[in-house]
Amino acid sequence: MHPAPSVILFSTLSGAGFGLLVFLGLGLPAPTSWVAFTFFAIAYTFAAGGLLAATFHLQNPKNAWKSYREWRSSWLSREAWAAVAALLVMAFYAAPLVLAGTRVAPLGWLGALLSLATVFTTSMIYAQLKTVPRWNQPATPALFLSASLAGGALLSGNVGAATALIALLGAITLFHWWKGDRRFGEAGSTAETATRLRGKVSLWERPHTGENYLTREMVFVIARKHAVKLRIIAFALMVALPLVLLLALPVKHMVAAIAVLSHLVGVGVQRWLFFAEAEHVVGLYYGAHRANIAA
Amino acid sequence: MTQPEIDLHPRPGDAIRKTTCYMCACRCGIDVHVKNGKVAYIEGNRDHPVNQGVLCAKGSAGIMQHNAPSRLRAPMKRVGPRGSGEFEEISWDEAYDIAASWLTPIRETDPSKLAFFTGRDQSQSFTSWWAQAFGTPNYAAHGGFCSVNMAAGGIYTMGGAFWEFGQPDWDRTKLFILFGVAEDHDSNPIKMGIGKIKANGARVVGVNPIRSGYNAVADDWFGITPGTDGLLILSLVHCLMKAGKIDLEYLRDFTDAPVLIDAREGPGQGLPLKDDDGHALVWCRREQRPRCFDAEDVDPDLNGAWLDGDVTHRTVFHAMAQKYLDPAYAPETVAEATGIPAPRIRALAAEIARVAFDEEIVLDREWTDFRGRKHTTMKGRPVSFHAMRGISAHANGFQTCRALHMLQILIGSVETPGGFRFKPPYPKPATAHPKPHCKVTPGAPLDGPHLGFVHGPEDLALKDDGSPARIDKAFTWENPMSAHGMMHMVISNAHAGDPYKIDTLFLYMANMAWNSSMNTSGTMKMLSDKDANGDYVIPHIIYSDAYSSEMVAYADLILPDTTYLERHDCISLLDRPICEAEAAADAIRWPVVEPDRDVRGFQTALIQLGAKLGLPGFVKDDGSAKFTDYADYMVSHERRPGVGPLMGWRGNGDETGRGAPNPNQLDRYIENGGFAISHIPDEAQFYKPWNMGYQNWAVGLGLYDKPAPYIFTLWSEPLRKFQIAAEGHGPRQPPDHLRDRIKATFDPLPIWWDATETHGQGGYDITALTQRPMAMYHSWGTQNAWLRQIHGENPLYLPTEIWTEHLFEEGDWAQVTSPHGEITVPVAHMPALNANTVWTWNAIGKRKGAWALQDDAPEVTKGFLLNHLIHELLPPKGDGLRWSNSDPITGQAAWFDLKVKIRKTAAPADGTTKPDLGHQTSPVGHGPAVLKWEVT
Amino acid sequence: MTSLPASTDKKLGLVIDLDTCVGCHACVTACKGWNTQNYGAPLSDIDPYGAAEGTFLNRIHAFQVEPDQGLAQTIHFPKSCLHCDDAPCVTVCPTGASYKRVEDGIVLVNEDACMGCGLCAWACPYGAREIDQAAGVMKKCTLCVDRIYNENLPEEDREPACVRTCPAGARHFGDLADPESAVSRLVATRDGVDLMPEQGTRPVNKYLPPRVKDSLQAPEMEGAEDILAPFLAPVAEEPKGFLKWLDTALEKL
Ligand SMILES: Nc1nc2c(c(=O)[nH]1)N[C@H]1C(S)=C(S)[C@@H](COP(=O)(O)OP(=O)(O)OC[C@H]3O[C@@H](n4cnc5c(=O)[nH]c(N)nc54)[C@H](O)[C@@H]3O)O[C@H]1N2
Ligand SMILES: Nc1nc2c(c(=O)[nH]1)N[C@H]1C(S)=C(S)[C@@H](COP(=O)(O)OP(=O)(O)OC[C@H]3O[C@@H](n4cnc5c(=O)[nH]c(N)nc54)[C@H](O)[C@@H]3O)O[C@H]1N2
Ligand code: SF4
Ligand code: SF4
Ligand code: SF4
Ligand code: SF4
Ligand code: SF4
Ligand SMILES: [Mo]
């Protein structure tokens, strides 16, 4: 799949933002006044900014408001609901904290739940797609949730939780990659099932010699050797470096900032790979994915 | 939940105007939906005999052809150097003044200094008439480099050819064998036919080195080695004759197989014996004496022998048996050369035999033959064939086409139910066509039509000193039977001043500076070459195009044409009509929308120029213009009394074929959907060359003036006459260096030889071919925003053998060399391909700046032409001579004899195919950045 | 709208014959022409005279097939929306723009509601949806819903533009819910198949597989002559013998 910068930015930032909201909602920490304002400002910038970035991906954003209609069947619609609900509830939770220093804990818990739900719905948009076998696995929601929570823990300064969650994220990421590399084969779609022709099927001519929406959007192919390199970078920045920083060094603001930055950039790279490595079955009509079927 | 309201009943336009498509020579009927005077949607005309409602990709994309940004806007005169594309727009009056200033003097002194050649011309009977009136012998359309082998091979053998002049009996055929066709002129009918016969359960066999398109849907594919079809066909003939699976009755009654061949030594040896009236003689089995072939009660004996003094004259069929039963044609012998295993050749022959004779079909239709015999039935052998450039664009193509027709005739499947059928004006044997004319008189018309069929050395277009009369050297000893002229030789001959220099080259609708030439870069140089005085070697070039093609950049004066939707045109029985096997039909185009710029239909421009030059036929006695425009000509011109360009609604509107001009004729065509049709009566629909019902019907329609039945000529008398000359007989003698070639190749019976020997020397052993993409018309599809997305670039396709031998991988490039040139191009793998063949799509590559494309268009960067590797002359043989790369008989350009070597190479640093032939300025600017073509 | 109807009255769709499609792309440009002028925003082309990238609702792929035994083949392969019964493109749509019609099963996009998120295109296994770059809305085959019922068209023209134009007759349109319809019978007799059945979309459109190829002297193109051999039993080995046979044969005529 084409790694659209707006979508990568969205999912990275909003993930971390909602993760931060989860921790804030749980009262870990439960700051007040200006400190609270700063925390919530960061959370809202990340979460809402991410959502805003996502709308850049829309080609007809004037109809974006209609996306609330189909919550019964559409994960994207549910995400829209969940996000608004989470942000609203958290606003009601934040306001007393900032203005009065009062913490209405049940609102926080609800907000945390909704924030988690938002991240979950986001992940389900991808995980539901049978057309992209790499995404279509239970580890996908786990990946999004752990990334969100790890980011949230880091941002909220929960060093212990952050350490554990980053380690968990690392494990899930490794599993997602390992499993993802097998998913296309498991899903069973091949050039032969795509065409139902008997014999060894390969593409002779694309329908159009130039690119089209599908080839750019869905038939993005990334070279194997780049992917390996990027996986190492992603893992190093997202997991290894923050862990080293958190465990080996005394946690100072500077160190924390580097850890957060490294982690977020790492998640960004991981997200880029999440898209770039994802093979859409439609690629079979364009002669792509031979290697993945073999793997 | 409610579903949204949608408009289920939109109107595609406010009016439907029915006219004829123009993106190829198929000439389908179209319904043009017009909205507020603009073209909104084009679909097929369901009532039209050619396409019955369907359209191809090009036809449906006609709207993009019409609104292409590459369209020329006004007449132009060149202001930069030739090839630069720098022009200034001028008025039509100035354009005519310039043209007249060049043409008037040469007409008065030497009309042959004008060479007028037309390319994709659908009005040849008119353009040739203009050239005749001008008085130059130098006229032809593009047939000589296109498929003259096919046309001439068919017409000389059976009085009609495949091309678009005949068709399989799609309703009845049970085995259809297609040789060397990717698309052809009869584009939609072939597709419709294949669909139809597949639905009927018939078998489709494709003989083609490449398995795509029609060959991809073929039930059986014979991936033949290019250039060897003649051998395969003669092997089929061998098998069928040996098994006696031939239609003896048919051969006896309708062909020259029983005709006696003169066995006496001397200048007549090998010619058919004739009586004093010129009728061929056969041995009558009943009366045991030679008799005229068409005598009412003659019983021709296929195995007759006339003991005449001390010689025995034997039949054509006897000669065939001697020749083709030879083991040289056994499947085992030809398997290696053709690349088809012997058992498959036998299987194909057996299938032909099975279907022809076990699945014979009989129609209960009475008919009377030319001998006056009545038949109660029509017997059919439901095996049909079709072929095109795959066999004709080789230097052995004429004989290969003849071989194929011989095969059809042997099994009795020409003009019989289930077989191959002619479309009017065919059948029409070579002897019924004109002969070439070349007598030039200053200030006066030529002595007759330029093109035609020669029947012996006496008909060649030679001057008194024996030198060629025509600039293209058509109808000379180098290629005596070049019935369509040799457009591919014009520029190089004119450049070399051989046989003479010309003053003005006038081209219409032919992209000669690009894809329609061999040796494209050489041609571009010749067109812009200057002599010692700094003058262009070809002094003046006039060109008519509708679009900003590569050729435009090389002309001095441009006459911009309209599009096909803005002009009158006539698809006439006088040249290439749209007939069907069961009907005669012709059609018109008419301006369904008005041009929005200063362009004129080329035919109208020719009429106006003709009048300005005072050409006979174009002016009245008082010197004023005879026709106002082409529409006027279409209606009022008469070729023979009562016979004009259009057959329908003549006289008072109730006469077809013959009748006085009818001023309301075009309105009647328009009311009828743009065409006229006249059905052939049931009893006249088969056996047409011999069927008096058909002959009389044809006379009634004006196709000819009296019945002209004839028999098929398996033994070609003209070929033998040239051979006899080469053997030293007769007053007109070939130059010595051509004698051996003529003796060897002008065999009166079909033969095969390896035409690629010279190309193949020095390790050039891979054949390189092109195919026409179904969704593109030569170079001109490229300006079409929709079509160019389908074919915007063209890799060179390699078979598995070459792909693996050179370790090619996806995305690789190759350097391809021929004895003549070198190109660097992207490659791709194709398993369903003859092991020794590479190929690419034709005419996708474009010159930078042409066709109003952006400089980064894929056609420029990734597209390429194979033409750079092909030369109009063969590689030197070492005999000091340069032989032409064409069929020694017809002069047909041998595009498909090209042999190459292939080497893997790094992709060029700039990612652009080589050679790069520079940039031309677009005289019409470039297209828009976004296209949303909704007409409101 | 985004939920799929439990069932539809009809299942209108296409049956595509891979045995006869010659890959001419006629259906591609006929579709482009009709749909540029009709249903919704025109199908646009970006940089149409340069790198060129446009919206098409129907595209013809071409595949090569190398069977275990026998000659390699080429198959032209048209593809547009298959109007799936279990259309994932519909259920993922957040705005309700994507829907499947209850009366005939046609899957459509209501352009007035579409926000151009592209998710439905991701959900479609077949590449049947494309966002129009100029209009920003999702485009897909409408099954020519504005032709098949169109009272401003003559009755015989009330069929999809691609079907009407296909010169080879490789495209068939009809009701696949009706087992007696011509299309259903074609599917039955020719063993029509679903594309990517493992995706569980239950396409309405069916594909008729190519018939067995190269059966003359099949499969390995070598060895003993097959059942056709008797048709070539020689009448004589030598020209002389042949001419003798000829005489006898002519006697009988
Ligand atoms: N390598 C290779 N080369 C080949 C062939 C091959 O098989 N392989 N095939 C050869 C054959 S058979 C042929 S016929 C030639 C074809 O070659 P051409 O006859 O050169 O065909 P086009 O490229 O279509 O060029 C025709 C010109 O007509 C112009 N034109 C289009 N419409 C109109 C109109 O309405 N009015 C006017 N006045 N002009 C118009 C176009 O813009 C174009 O410039 O190519 C030959 N070249
Ligand atoms: N869409 C479209 N239609 C066209 C045209 C076009 O440009 N586009 N051009 C028109 C013109 S001008 C012409 S002349 C006709 C030409 O119509 P075709 O004759 O169909 O022309 P080509 O595409 O040159 O196809 C030649 C075929 O012969 C095969 N071939 C080559 N060498 C051999 C051989 O030795 N033996 C056999 N058996 N096959 C061989 C090639 O693989 C190819 O399939 O098409 C006309 N129709
Ligand atoms: S075959 Fe196509 S391009 Fe040729 S006339 Fe017919 S519709 Fe037009
Ligand atoms: S083919 Fe694709 S777009 Fe069409 S209904 Fe099925 S899933 Fe939806
Ligand atoms: S692109 Fe339009 S139709 Fe598709 S899912 Fe998004 S809103 Fe729905
Ligand atoms: S049914 Fe209509 S919209 Fe669908 S592919 Fe055919 S022409 Fe295009
Ligand atoms: S129009 Fe018919 S034959 Fe041509 S590509 Fe489309 S389906 Fe195939
Ligand atoms: Mo041609």
Q: Confidence class of residue C226 from pLDDT cuts 50, 70 and 90?
A: low
Residue A140 and residue A123 in contact, taking contact as beta carbons nearer than 8 Å: yes
Lowest-pLDDT range, A284-293, B189-198, C146-155?
A: A284-293
Shared domain for A111 and A216, answered yes or no, is: no
> CA torsion, points B549, B554, B558, B562, in degrees to nearest 10?
-10
Shared domain for A9 and A54, answered yes or no, is: yes
B859 touches chain A (CB under 8 A): no
Per-residue pLDDT, B150: 96
Question: By percentage, how much of chain B surpasses pLDDT 70?
Answer: 100
C-alpha distance from B565 to closest chain C C-alpha (Å): 17
What does the pLDDT look like over B877-913, one tens digit per residue?
778 788 889 999 999 999 999 999 999 999 999 999 9
pLDDT averaged over every residue in chain B: 96
Lowest-pLDDT range, A1-10, A17-26, A112-121, B514-523?
A: A1-10
Ligand 5 pocket: which of C112, C117, C131 to mutate (most atoms within 8 A of CB)? C117
Per-residue pLDDT, A292: 57
- Select from A204, A207, A208 the Cβ nearest to the Cβ of B830: A204
Mean pLDDT of the B777-784 span = 95
Mean pLDDT of the B508-514 span = 97
**Residue C164 C-alpha to ligand 3 middle, in angstroms?**
15
Distance (Å, rounded) from C-alpha B313 to C-alpha B303? 11
Distance (Å, rounded) from C-alpha A80 to C-alpha A59? 17
Shared domain for A9 and A92, answered yes or no, is: yes
Scan for tokens 């149409």, then name that residue: C48
- Residue with the bigger pLDDT between B760 and C221: it is B760
Distance (Å, rounded) from C-alpha C27 to C-alpha B44? 12
> CA torsion, points C211, C217, C218, C224, in degrees to nearest 10?
160
Shared domain for C133 and C246, answered yes or no, is: no
Q: Which chain C residues are closer than 8 Å to A74 by Cβ? A: 2, 91-94, 119
Ligand 1 pocket: which of B19, B120, B599, B846 to mutate (most atoms within 8 A of CB)? B120
Structure-token pair, residue B40: 């909104």
Ligand 7 atom at minimal distance to the Cα of residue B774: 4
Per-residue pLDDT, A294: 45
Shared domain for C120 and C146, answered yes or no, is: yes
- Select from C28, C56, C196 the Cβ nearest to the Cβ of A189: C196
Does the predicted interface ipTM exceed a cut of 0.90? Answer: yes
C3 touches chain A (CB under 8 A): yes
Which ligand is in closest contact with the Cα of C129? 4
What does the pLDDT look like over B31-74, one tens digit per residue?
999 999 999 999 999 999 999 999 999 999 999 999 999 999 99
Which ligand is in closest contact with the Cα of B892? 1
Q: What's the angle, vertex CA B575, arms to CA B570 and CA B576, rounded to 5? A: 80
C-alpha distance from C216 to closest chain A C-alpha (Å): 19
Q: Which uninterrupted H or E stretch holds A116?
A: helix A105-127
Beta bridge partners of B18: B31
What does the pLDDT look like over A163-193, one tens digit per residue?
999 999 999 999 999 999 999 999 999 999 9
Question: By percentage, how much of chain C surpasses pLDDT 70?
Answer: 96
Beta bridge partners of B544: B508, B559
Per-residue pLDDT, C218: 53
A152 domain-assigned: no
Enclosing domain of residue A51: 1-128
Residue C94 and residue C80 in contact, taking contact as beta carbons nearer than 8 Å: no
- Kindly report the CATH class assigned to B108-149+434-560: alpha beta
State how many domains chain A has: 2
Ligand 6 atom at minimal distance to the Cα of residue C58: 5
| DSSP three-state, residue B570 | strand
Q: Confidence class of residue A6 from pLDDT cuts 50, 70 and 90?
A: confident
C152 touches chain B (CB under 8 A): yes
Q: Is the CB of C13 under 6 A from ligand 4?
A: no
Residue C50, domain CATH: 3.30.70.20
Shared domain for A292 and A162, answered yes or no, is: yes
Mean pLDDT of the B607-633 span = 97
Question: C98-100 and C73-79 as β-strands: parallel, antiparallel, unpaired?
Answer: unpaired
Q: Do C165 and B930 touch (CB under 8 A)?
A: no
Ligand 1 atom at minimal distance to the Cα of residue B865: 1
Enclosing domain of residue C29: 12-208
| DSSP three-state, residue B800 | helix
C213 domain-assigned: no
Q: Confidence class of residue B148 from pLDDT cuts 50, 70 and 90?
A: very high
Q: Is the CB of B141 under 6 A from ligand 2?
A: no
Query: Which pTM does this prediction carry?
Result: 0.97
Mean pLDDT of the C177-181 span = 98
**Residue C133 C-alpha to ligand 4 middle, in angstroms?**
20
Question: By percentage, how much of chain A surpasses pLDDT 70?
Answer: 98
Q: What's the angle, vertex CA B790, arms to CA B214 and CA B62, rounded to 5? A: 90
- Select from B55, B215, B216 the Cβ nearest to the Cβ of C165: B55
pLDDT averaged over every residue in chain A: 93
- Nearest CA owner, ligand 6 atom 8: C31
What does the pLDDT look like over B539-577, one tens digit per residue?
999 999 999 999 999 999 999 999 999 999 999 999 889
Per-residue pLDDT, C225: 54
Q: Is the CB of C60 under 6 A from ligand 6?
A: no
Ligand 4 atom at minimal distance to the Cα of residue C82: 1
Rg (CA), chain C: 25
| Sequence-ordered list of residues with C-beta below 8 angstroms from that of C6, at least 6 positions apart, any chain | none
Which ligand is in closest contact with the Cα of A67? 5
Chains in contact with C, where contact means 3 or more Cβ–Cβ distances below 8 Å, are A, B
Shared domain for C24 and C61, answered yes or no, is: yes
Q: Confidence class of residue A258 from pLDDT cuts 50, 70 and 90?
A: very high
Mean pLDDT of the C200-221 span = 86
Q: Confidence class of residue A147 from pLDDT cuts 50, 70 and 90?
A: very high
A207 touches chain B (CB under 8 A): yes
- Nearest CA owner, ligand 5 atom 2: C114
CATH of B161-427, one of 3.40.1380.20, 2.40.50.320, 3.40.50.1370, 3.40.228.10: 3.40.228.10
Q: Is the pLDDT of residue C220 over 60?
A: no
Which ligand is in closest contact with the Cα of B61? 3
Burial class (CB in 10 A: 0-12, 13-18, 19+), B554: buried
What does the pLDDT look like over A62-109, one tens digit per residue?
999 999 999 999 999 999 999 999 999 999 999 999 999 999 999 999
Mean pLDDT of the A140-163 span = 96
Q: Is the CB of B352 under 6 A from ligand 2?
A: no
Which ligand is in closest contact with the Cα of B518? 1
- Nearest CA owner, ligand 1 atom 41: B780
List ligand 1's pocket residues with C-beta within 6 A: B 119-120, 142, 145-146, 508-511, 515-516, 544-547, 549, 551, 561, 563-564, 602, 770, 777-780, 842-843, 866-867, 895
State how many domains chain C has: 2
- Nearest CA owner, ligand 3 atom 4: B24
**Residue A129 C-alpha to ligand 6 middle, in angstroms?**
26
Mean pLDDT of the B909-924 span = 96
A144 domain-assigned: no
What does the pLDDT look like over B297-309, one tens digit per residue?
999 999 999 999 9
Mean pLDDT of the B775-783 span = 95
- Select from A73, A187, A204 the Cβ nearest to the Cβ of C91: A73
> CA torsion, points B82, B85, B89, B95, in degrees to nearest 10?
30
- Nearest CA owner, ligand 1 atom 32: B546
C-alpha distance from B797 to closest chain A C-alpha (Å): 10
What does the pLDDT look like over B522-542, one tens digit per residue?
999 999 999 999 999 999 999
Domain boundaries in chain B?
108-149+434-560, 161-427, 757-905
C54 domain-assigned: yes
Distance (Å, rounded) from C-alpha A149 to C-alpha B228? 73
Q: Is the CB of B227 under 6 A from ligand 2?
A: yes
Shared domain for C142 and C202, answered yes or no, is: yes
Q: Do B792 and A209 touch (CB under 8 A)?
A: yes
Distance (Å, rounded) from C-alpha B520 to C-alpha B512? 8
C67 domain-assigned: yes
B830 touches chain A (CB under 8 A): yes
Shared domain for A92 and A19, answered yes or no, is: yes
Q: Confidence class of residue C219 from pLDDT cuts 50, 70 and 90?
A: very low
Task: Please give the CATH topology (third level) of the domain spanning B757-905.
Answer: Barwin-like endoglucanases (2.40.40)
Structure-token pair, residue C27: 């259906």
Per-residue pLDDT, C86: 97
Ligand 5 pocket: which of C93, C108, C112, C122 to mutate (most atoms within 8 A of CB)? C93
Per-residue pLDDT, A295: 41
Q: DSSP for A122-171?
A: HHHHHHT-TTSTTTSSTHHHHHHHHHHHHHHHHHTT-HHHHHHHHHHHHH
Ligand 3 atom at minimal distance to the Cα of residue B51: 6
Count how many residues are written for chain C: 253
Q: Is the pLDDT of residue B1 over 80?
A: no
| Sequence-ordered list of residues with C-beta below 8 angstroms from that of B562, at least 6 positions apart, any chain | B546, B591, B595, B599, B600, B601
Distance (Å, rounded) from C-alpha C195 to C-alpha A207? 17
CB count, 10 Å around CB of B782?
A: 29
Structure-token pair, residue B671: 């009311």
Shared domain for A124 and A173, answered yes or no, is: no
Shared domain for A169 and A73, answered yes or no, is: no
Q: Which uninterrupted H or E stretch holds C15?
A: strand C12-17
B789 touches chain A (CB under 8 A): yes
Q: What's the angle, vertex CA C15, arms to CA C11 and CA C20, rounded to 5? A: 175
Shared domain for C242 and C120, answered yes or no, is: no
Mean pLDDT of the C151-168 span = 98
Residue B852 and residue B779 in contact, taking contact as beta carbons nearer than 8 Å: no
Q: Is the pLDDT of residue A251 over 70?
A: no
Shared domain for A246 and A183, answered yes or no, is: yes
What does the pLDDT look like over B583-611, one tens digit per residue?
999 999 999 999 999 999 999 999 999 99
